[in-house]
Amino acid sequence: MNSSSPTTETDYIRSTHHEFLAASEKALRTPSLQIILGQLGDTLGQRNRDAWQQLPNSDLVRQRARQIKDDTLANLHEHLQTLEISVQARGGQVHWADDGHAASKIIVDLIKQRGYSRVVKSKSMTSEEIHLNPALEAAGITTVETDLGEYIIQLAGHRPSHIVGPALHLSAVEVAEILSQPAGRTLAAERETLAAFARQELRQKFAEAEVGISGANFAVAETGTIVLVSNEGNARLTTALPKMHIAVMGMEKVIPKLADLPYFLKVLARAATGQKLSVYTSFVTGARRAGETDGAEEFHLVILDNGRSQILGSPLRESLFCIRCGACLNACPIYRSVGGHAYGGVYAGPIGAVLTPLYDGLAANHHLPHASSLCGACQAACPVKIQIPEMLVKLREQMHDEPTLKNGMESFAYRMWAKTLKRPWLYRLSTWLATRTVGRWYRKSPWLKKLPGKLHGWTKKRDFPAPAAARFRDWWEKEGRHGS
């Protein structure tokens, strides 16, 4: 991940960065983004609630999905080995990648060895994580994203802003401007026109491509099946037309049995987009067989660690349950204020605030575990009930144990706070002082916009509650006792 800090207003949309505060401030000042983020909760929220209501005992189905993930992780190495055997039995090849660099190298080598140079890709967060596109480009391999949102942001040079809707931050007018360039003419800012242009343009790319690269929503160990879920159908074209199919997946995507799959399918689309099922769910089991006229002739599966084994053996293991539905983003008041680019990494929103520090280092991403109100909306929305707030708190704890992240002023303030709380006379004195001074001055507003001196750091990004004009114990003496 690059550490470049954003300099211009929109740089944070293009490059990965560690400037959560600066980027979120810019996002808050972008009216078009604010309008779209405002619609996110309204449109998806209601649809999601309706879809969940039509699944009786949805809570138990989510529990089962969670249980399968937990059981699988307990013996992950065994399931990965079973997956390897199954894939090989169907003529496919499995490749093991310790990190993103290794994964990219495996993929580039596979393509170059065969003299191929044209790749179509269906949407995959894992390939974003390993920065696959720049690696392919550097090797002289032409790569076209085929998911409409991904295609748009690839042309614009943006990073995805949402796990499910990567181009969510753009208006139809902006999309029209972006697509008008390859079109060589001015396209109307109408969704149908834009989608029709993309269809026609991408058909051509599909017809020419030698290699299709996909992610994997799930991989079934028992059968060696890669499961791909999409609404557009580009994942189907990616796996049906080119000569070679390479799927790249994080190792936690494996599930033991085909029979485990329906529980995930029943919750994934509901959580993501409020559908009962996504339009297309494809089970790809190996390469094309004798007599078949479509499907890739060669199948490769790249299994990625990239820090996941570190997480697997830690208290934050549960973050590996994530099935990348994006529900926690849609539910999160912070995401809905600042959008996905502010988070700086590949994964945005509450789960991104957990994953990015884990994959990319806590010190560099120390703002992210604090970019949460811990309101619990993310956990309530999660189809596998990941306890995201609890994990954010754990990350905050870890930060306290890391000396490089300690803030001297903050530690001093907390020490003083602790001393005050332990001495009743001191506590009484300080509350008396606070109400007599600041409390009386700030009667009009319950919020302080700016704290003095170093404490200003707190109020730079949020307001501080002003002390009340009277202490509770004084009020109680005077009024409270007569109440009952």
Per-residue binding letters, 58-87, with another protein (x by CB under 8 A): --xx-xx-xx--x--xxxxx--xx------
Minimum Å distance from CB 132 to another protein?
18
Give the residue with the Cβ less far from another protein, 267 or 346. 267
Tell me how far, at minimum, the Cβ of 259 lies from another protein, in Å: 6
Nearer to another protein (CB atom), residue 34 or residue 314: 314
The residue to which tokens 């990494």 are assigned:
345
CA distances from 409 to 35, 165, 190, 421, 456 (A): 38, 41, 54, 18, 12
Task: Give the separation between CA 80 and CA 219, rounded to whole angstroms.
Answer: 9
Which residue's CB is nearer to another protein, number 29 or number 276?
276
Q: In angstroms, rounded to a whole number, what is the distance separating the alpha carbons of residues 106 and 124?
A: 17
Of residues 290-349, those binding another protein (CB under 8 A)? 291-295, 303, 305, 309-310, 312-315, 317-318
Judged by CB under 8 A, the stretch of 110-118, 132-140, 180-188, 218-226 that binds another protein is 218-226
What mask, x for binding another protein by CB under 8 A, covers residues 245 to 274?
Answer: ------x-----xxx-xxx-xx------x-
Q: With left for phi above 0 and alpha for psi between -120 and 50, is residue 270 left, alpha or beta?
A: alpha
- CB closer to another protein out of 133 and 146: 146
User: Nearest distance from residue 86's CB to another protein, in Å?
Assistant: 9
b/e per residue 66-103 (b: at least 16 CB within 10 A): bebbeebbeebeebbebbbebbeeeebebbebeebebb
d(CA 82, CA 89): 11
Answer yes or no: are the C-beta atoms of 360 and 306 closer than 8 Å: no
- The residue among 60 and 138 lying less far from another protein, judged by its C-beta, is 60
Going by C-beta distance under 8 Å and a sequence separation of 6 or more, which residues neighbour residue 363? 402, 404, 405
Q: What minimum distance in Å lies between the beta carbon of 198 and another protein?
A: 6
- Cβ of residue 165: shortest distance to another protein, in angstroms? 6
Q: Could you say which of 30, 126, 234, 372 contacts another protein (CB under 8 A)? A: 234
| x/- letters, 38..57, toward another protein (CB under 8 A) | -xx--xx---------xxxx
Residue 33 contacts residue 169 (beta carbons within 8 Å): yes
Binding segment (CB under 8 A) for another protein, from list 235-243, 336-344, 366-374, 433-441: 235-243
The phi, psi pair for 298, rounded to 5°, reads -135, 135
Cβ distance to another protein smaller for residue 17 or 336 = 336
User: In this chain, which of 85, 188, 207, 421 binds another protein, going by CB under 8 A?
Assistant: 207
d(CA 43, CA 37): 10
Nearest approach in angstroms of CB 60 to another protein is 5
Inter-CA distances, 269 with 238, 264, 281, Å = 21, 9, 10
Question: Residue 147 interacts with another protein (CB under 8 A)?
Answer: yes
Pairing of strands 218-220, 225-230: antiparallel
Neighbours of 404 (CB within 10 A): 8
284 binds another protein (CB under 8 A): yes
Output 222 or 463, the one with its CB closest to another protein: 222
In the set 30, 82, 225, 379, which binds another protein (CB under 8 A)?
Answer: 225
Return the closest-CA partner of residue 128 out of 110, 153, 109, 148: 153
First CA to last CA distance, the chain: 62
Question: In angstroms, rounded to a whole number, what is the distance separating the alpha carbons of residues 320 and 107?
Answer: 24
Classify burial at 329, counting beta carbons within 10 Å of its beta carbon; exposed 0-12, middle 13-18, buried 19 or more: buried
Whose Cβ is closer to another protein: residue 90's or residue 370's? 90
Tell which positions 85-124 bind another protein, by CB under 8 A: 90, 96-98, 102
Residue 386 beta carbon to another protein: minimum distance, rounded to whole angstroms: 10
Residue 283 corresponds to which tokens in the numbers above? 């089970």
Least distance in angstroms from the C-beta of 286 to another protein = 6
- The angle at the Cα of 408, spanning 405 to 413, to the nearest 5 degrees, equals 120
Show contacts with another protein in window 363-402 (CB under 8 A): none
- Which residue, 326 or 350, is less far from another protein as judged by CB? 326
Residue among 282, 306, 379, 431 that touches another protein (CB under 8 A)? 282
Minimum distance from residue 404 beta carbon to another protein (Å): 25
Residues 174-193 binding another protein (CB under 8 A) are 175, 191-192
Q: How many residues does the chain have?
A: 484
- Mapped onto helix, strand or coil, the DSSP state of residue 302 is strand
Q: Does residue 158 belong to the site contacting another protein (CB under 8 A)?
A: no
Residue with smaller CB distance to another protein, 172 or 405: 172
**Cα dist from 275 to 50, 62, 140, 165, 471, whole Å:** 9, 16, 39, 15, 52
Provide, rounded to whole angstroms, the least separation between the CB of residue 262 and another protein.
Answer: 5
Q: What number of chain residues touch another protein (CB under 8 A)? A: 103
Quick one: 22 or 163, whose CB is closer to another protein?
A: 163
Contact 322, 127 (CB under 8 A): no
Compare residues 128 and 232 and give the one whose CB is closer to another protein: 232
